[in-house]
Each structure stands twice: as structure tokens, then as C-alpha cells.
């Protein structure tokens, strides 16, 4: 069974500072990995995804994530936080070849950006 651990349910950064949101996964096969963002009272929006190929993945709004197989990690980063980045972020995994294409989500990390 797959699982996802997001370290830190709340993260606060100053505007302009580095954003680092951590995600570790457990999977019996190399998974597909996703980051979603949820703004207040909205649905989830795909930020970026890793499937195969280049392990550094760039997404929308200046975010990127690096797949590190040896560390079973897929941490999300952004060099400089903006006030508009305040939201909840979810890491998710799926198992390639599984017929249901199910996603398993982490519990989420709420990002606050301090002016």
C-alpha cells in the first residue's frame, strides 16, 4: 500500500523567503507524484507532477519539486514566497499500472506568508 507523509501541518515563511514543503512517500514501485494547491474555499489545482524522465519538475507560479528516489522524497520549493502563495498544499502519489489510477494524498501543509 502507498502512503504519503507531509512534514509540518503548518509552515510560515516571510515574504521573499524560500518556501520548502516536504513530502515523503512509501510505495512498492516507483510512483507518479503530484503536488496540488488549495486556496480557501476552492477545489484543488494541480501545481506540478512527476511521471518519468527529468527528476526536477517545474510547475506553475514558480514552484518546482525534485524527485529523489534514494530518499523517497518529492519536496516542493519556491525561491521567493509571495503573499498569494498562502494556501494549503497537498502531495499525492499513484501507482503506475494500477487500473484504478487512484491518488493517495498526504494530510496537507498550510502555508502562511508573513509580510
3-state helix, strand, coil in the chain (%, to 5): 10, 55, 40
Q: Check if the beta carbon of residue 85 is closer than 8 Å to that of residue 61.
A: yes
Q: Check if the beta carbon of residue 19 is closer than 8 Å to that of residue 76.
A: yes
List the one residue from 7, 17, 86, 103 that touches another protein (CB under 8 A).
103
Minimal distance in Å, beta carbon 68 to another protein? Answer: 19
Residue 26-55 contact track with another protein, rule CB under 8 A, x = bound: ------x-x-x-----xxxxx--x-x----
Minimal distance in Å, beta carbon 91 to another protein? Answer: 9
Does the protein bind another protein through residue 96 (CB under 8 A)?
Answer: yes
**CB burial readout 15-28, b (16+ within 10 A) else e:** eeeebebbbbbebe
Does the protein bind another protein through residue 70 (CB under 8 A)?
Answer: no
Q: Check if the beta carbon of residue 96 is closer than 8 Å to that of residue 32.
A: yes
Nearer to another protein, 71 or 101 (CB): 101
Number of Cβ within 10 Å of residue 50's Cβ equals 20
Minimal distance in Å, beta carbon 78 to another protein? Answer: 21
Residues near another protein (CB under 8 A): 4, 9, 32, 34, 36, 42-46, 49, 51, 90, 92, 94, 96-97, 99-103, 105-108
Amino acid at each position: 500500500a502507498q502512503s504519503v507523509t507531509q512534514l509540518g501541518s503548518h509552515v510560515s515563511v516571510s515574504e521573499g523567503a524560500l518556501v520548502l514543503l516536504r513530502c515523503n512517500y512509501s510505495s512498492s514501485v516507483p510512483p507518479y507524484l503530484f503536488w496540488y494547491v488549495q486556496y480557501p474555499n476552492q477545489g484543488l489545482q494541480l501545481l506540478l507532477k512527476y511521471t518519468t524522465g527529468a527528476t526536477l519538475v517545474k510547475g506553475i507560479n514558480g514552484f518546482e519539486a525534485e524527485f529523489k528516489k534514494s530518499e523517497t522524497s518529492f519536496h516542493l520549493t519556491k525561491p521567493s514566497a509571495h503573499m498569494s502563495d498562502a494556501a494549503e498544499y497537498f502531495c499525492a502519489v499513484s501507482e503506475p499500472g494500477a487500473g484504478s489510477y487512484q491518488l493517495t494524498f498526504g494530510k496537507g501543509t498550510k502555508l502562511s506568508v508573513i509580510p
